Amino acid sequence: MKKLLSKKWLCILLIIPTLILTDIIFCTGLYFFEPVNYNAPDLSISDSFDLYKKYSDTSSSFYIKQITHEDIVAAEFDSRLKYVDDTILITYTDNADYDDVNILLSPYDASICGYIEEINFIQAEFPDCDYPTLTNICSELSEHESISCAIIDYFEETPTSEDNTVINEDSMDNYYYDLINYPDDISAYIRNKSSVNVGVFDVLVDSNNMHLDVINKDSYDVNSLYNPLIKPFNNHGTHVAGILAGSENCNAPAVYPNAKIVSDNAMNNSISYWVAAITDMIINYDVKVINMSIGYNSYITLSATLGCKNAIEFINNESSFFNSVLKTLIENNHEFLICTAAGNDSHSNINKIHKGYFSYGEKQLLDKFDIFNIFTERVRYSDSRYSLPFSFINDKDVLNRIIVVGSCDEYYNLSYFSSLHERTDIIAPGEGIHSLGFKNDYDYMSGTSMACPFVSGTAALLFAVNPDLTAVDVKNIIINSSSQTIGNNEFEYPLLDVTKALEMAQ
């Protein structure tokens, strides 16, 4: 008996260290090899840098730095954290001006390379500065009372929010129009009403598509971004635009037929480009609604959801900067509403974050995946607050002009992939959505990307039906006109109801 016990304990003593060692090797190995899976194209096949030329006229009061691939560098401690070399973005208060900021920059031997007067925005170059030095300069500048916010010009390798759900196309029958209580005759509401421009900040919309009216089509060559190897990427912006604003003659009915689209590229661009593109839409094209069916890479969102303080701080820094920009636009009396997808990270991949871990210097979070608590640390959903800087903004004035959209299926269930949390505002159908595709074709896609344009299209309709509405009015109507909620044991959200929203708007 004693011999048997000895053998048993000997086996246990041998097995436990082996399991622990295996777990350490497994987790650590995945950390260092870190395969990151998302659908954004590699920079080597992207021509999006050509788009910077749109905003590079230094003779105006609206320009940003013309960058190239060589200008994009990675932080020393995390190769995935990329930014524009030697560059910081600044917003300043109404009590300051261009010259005041220039004086503040002079001790650093810095030069201004970007300027958008309307939003108190400056982009500045600091020669031969590494990431830690730029971070310290941002902190120093932010201490000045004339500076609202200063951050590094991060580069976003931003994937779209498309989910890879397998779709049975034979079972799809445009169920979503019944789900959102879409009126039988939309013309009764929009006849002789004012036209509303809608921004699609996404993959560039196919401006050659016969069913879309892209009013800024001359500002880009969409053909330069087509790549047959990444067809879903090409389709994404066009698919979203089709849901929102396809013509009355297309085979995939739109929420706001024939709406005028302003398209810009959100993929593989710097924060400075994002600021320029969004500001351009609002100021120069009088866009009332911007649809943003995009999001952070999963490793940032999921790391923040799991409590990674540095990932949360990264998102918070970007949110603070965009909050400053948007608040200035509001104070300058621009009416706009931003509709953003909640994200598609709430599925089995959420518990595999260590495969694509955005450490931001916080390697100790790997302890959460050791053999003793790997099961207790798992979470059921990703937090939609961390899907995009816009969805993490908490300033009341700006928050009231942002809608975060989650997804449901045809059976009134929350989509298994849809990111959740209190920050999600409303639900719309996002599974098996039929819309415009590549080169005048059609396609089915799923994701909160597809749910978002149902809401942005409705918002544009409300502005068209009643031009006296403010963006705050439109958000309140969309959320409070719902007659049904969709949810689970933790969260319940209103379901979009287009007819009731239109009736309230009138």
Question: What does the pLDDT read at residue 365?
Answer: 57
Residue 365: phi, psi to the nearest 5? -65, -20
* Tokens 């400075």 sit on residue: 272
Question: What does the pLDDT read at residue 21?
Answer: 46
Q: What is the chain's length?
A: 506
Distance of CA 153 to the CA centre of its chain: 17
Question: What does the pLDDT read at residue 355?
Answer: 40
Close Cβ partners of 407 (under 8 Å, ≥ 6 residues apart): 342, 344, 414, 415, 417, 418, 427, 428, 429, 430, 431, 446, 447, 448, 450, 451
Please report, in tens digits, the pLDDT of each residue of the chain (506 residues total).
Answer: 445 455 555 555 555 555 444 444 333 333 333 333 434 445 444 567 888 989 999 999 999 999 988 899 988 877 778 899 999 999 999 999 999 999 999 999 999 999 999 999 999 999 999 999 999 999 999 999 999 999 999 998 776 555 555 555 555 567 889 999 999 988 888 866 778 999 999 989 999 899 999 999 998 887 766 665 555 556 889 999 999 999 888 888 899 998 999 999 988 889 999 999 999 999 999 999 999 998 887 778 877 887 778 888 899 999 999 999 999 999 999 999 999 999 988 875 555 554 444 555 455 555 554 444 444 455 678 899 999 999 999 999 999 999 999 999 999 999 988 999 999 999 999 999 999 987 788 888 899 999 999 999 999 999 999 999 999 999 999 999 998 999 888 899 999 999 999 999 98
Cα(425)–Cα(428) distance, rounded to whole angstroms?
10
Cα(227)–Cα(179) distance, rounded to whole angstroms?
35
Sequential DSSP letters for 432-487: SEEEE-GGG-EEEEBSHHHHHHHHHHHHHHHHHH-TT--HHHHHHHHHHT-S-EEE
Q: Which helix (H) or strand (E) holds 331?
A: helix 309-331
- Are the C-beta atoms of residues 153 and 83 closer than 8 Å to each other? yes
Cα(95)–Cα(117) distance, rounded to whole angstroms?
13
Close Cβ partners of 207 (under 8 Å, ≥ 6 residues apart): 214, 217, 220, 222, 263
Question: What does the pLDDT read at residue 393?
Answer: 95
Question: What does the pLDDT read at residue 128?
Answer: 93
Q: Which helix (H) or strand (E) holds 238?
A: helix 231-245
Q: Could you say which DSSP state residue 116 is in? A: E
Helix (H, G, I), strand (E, B) or coil at 408: strand
Q: Where are the beta strands (DSSP E) in 318-449?
A: 337-341, 402-408, 426-429, 433-436, 442-445
Helix (H, G, I), strand (E, B) or coil at 359: coil
Identify the CA nearest to 428 among candidates 476, 491, 477, 498: 498
The encoded tokens of residue 240 equal 């979203």
Burial class (CB in 10 A: 0-12, 13-18, 19+), 461: buried
Helix (H, G, I), strand (E, B) or coil at 33: helix
Amino acid at 198: V
Torsion 133-135-139-141 (CA) sign = positive
Distance of CA 323 to the CA centre of its chain: 14
Close Cβ partners of 61 (under 8 Å, ≥ 6 residues apart): 115, 116, 117, 118
Count of CB atoms within 10 A of residue 44's CB?
Answer: 6
Question: What does the pLDDT read at residue 28?
Answer: 33
Question: What does the pLDDT read at residue 363?
Answer: 56
The encoded tokens of residue 213 equal 């009216």
Question: What does the pLDDT read at residue 75?
Answer: 85
Q: Which domains does the chain have, with CATH numbers?
A: 64-156 (3.30.70.80), 169-505 (3.40.50.200)
Identify the CA nearest to 263 among candidates 223, 209, 217: 217
Question: What does the pLDDT read at residue 226?
Answer: 65
pTM across the whole model = 0.88
Question: What does the pLDDT read at residue 49?
Answer: 81
